[in-house]
């Protein structure tokens, strides 16, 4: 058998034995889907989510796609029972390892949490601008502009995620009505803000010496992102309510 087939048989044997036991003790997996194809990964995620309804399930993984799949599967299972999810992210620095965080990895962190983190960071570093420390403030502004660009990309992904999402296993056609809320102004606001937060990320001739954004201007850009995201969410929620009313009236 191949490595993936060996993994499938081992998981099947373990989970079959687990189903015969009366104990509800926790179980631990280390990268359970390595070498598995997408069909088996989906089924393993569903099985682990179901198992977590009656016991603690601990999963070690570096596979971001599987992490997203697990989270989505647990959300679907939550319609039947609550499954609390706790993250423990362990990373390393330049000279040491073992840095722990209770938030999901940055590339899967919800935009609203990214906004909170940016505001908290801004409050800590704006002192560089207040002291006239242009070198350090320039680095911070560049960091904010990079974070804002990535956050805008995540916001756009979230806005279309009712239909299609990166690393998702299917297209959600029933969410198509949520895309009808988009207006031309939404696109213009997004593109203009995305352009503004790209300025320092491009190489500039030294003699131009572009003016650095102030902390207030950085806060304004964060607010523009936050407002855009919330407006889209509110309108999509209203679209869902309309869809439910229409579906109900059919019966």
What is the percent of the chain with per-residue pLDDT over 90, rounded to a whole number?
37
Residue with tokens 């590339």: 107
Contact present, 7 and 35 (Cβ < 8 Å): yes
Query: So where are the chain's domains?
Result: 3-101, 109-243
Q: What is the pLDDT of residue 152?
A: 95
What integer best gives the mean pLDDT of the chain?
A: 85
Q: Tell me: pLDDT of 205 over 60.
A: no
The Cα 77–Cα 73 span in angstroms is 6
- In this predicted model, what pLDDT tens digit does every residue of 18-48 receive, in sequence order? 888 888 899 999 989 888 887 888 889 889 9
Q: Tell me: pLDDT of 248 over 60.
A: no
Q: Tell me: pLDDT of 108 over 90.
A: no
- The answer to whether the Cα torsion of 62, 58, 107, 213 is positive or negative is negative
Choosing among 3.10.20.440, 3.40.50.720, 3.40.50.300, 3.30.70.260, the CATH entry for 3-101 is 3.40.50.300
- In this predicted model, what pLDDT tens digit does every residue of 155-200 receive, in sequence order? 998 899 888 877 666 788 888 999 999 999 999 999 999 998 877 6
Q: What is the pTM of this model?
A: 0.71
Contact present, 53 and 59 (Cβ < 8 Å): no
Long-range contacts of 76-79 (CB under 8 A, 24+ apart): 76/49, 77/49, 77/50, 77/52, 77/53
């Amino acid at each position: 058998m191949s490595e993936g087939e060996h993994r499938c048989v081992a998981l099947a044997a373990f989970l079959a034995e687990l189903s015969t036991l009366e104990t509800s003790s926790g179980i631990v997996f280390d990268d359970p889907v390595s070498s598995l194809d997408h069909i088996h990964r989906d089924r393993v995620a569903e099985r682990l989510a179901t198992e977590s309804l009656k016991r603690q399930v601990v999963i070690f993984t570096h596979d971001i796609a599987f992490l997203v799949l697990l989270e989505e599967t647990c959300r679907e299972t939550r319609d039947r029972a609550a499954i609390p999810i706790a993250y423990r992210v362990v990373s390393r620095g330049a000279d040491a390892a073992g840095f722990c965080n209770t938030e999901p990895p940055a590339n899967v962190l919800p935009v609203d949490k990214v906004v909170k983190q940016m505001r908290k960071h801004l409050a800590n570093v704006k002192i560089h601008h207040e002291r006239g420390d242009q070198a350090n403030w320039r680095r911070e502004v560049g960091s904010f502009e990079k974070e804002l660009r990535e956050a805008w990309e995540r916001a756009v992904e979230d806005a279309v995620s009712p239909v299609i999402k990166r690393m998702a296993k299917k297209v959600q056609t029933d969410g198509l009505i949520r895309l009808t809320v988009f207006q031309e102004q939404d696109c213009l606001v997004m593109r203009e803000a995305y352009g503004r937060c790209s300025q320092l990320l491009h190489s500039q001739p030294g003699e131009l010496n572009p003016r650095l954004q102030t902390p207030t201007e950085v806060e304004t850009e964060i607010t523009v992102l936050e407002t855009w995201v919330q407006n889209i969410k509110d309108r999509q929620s209203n679209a869902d309510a309309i869809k439910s009313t229409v579906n109900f009236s059919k019966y």
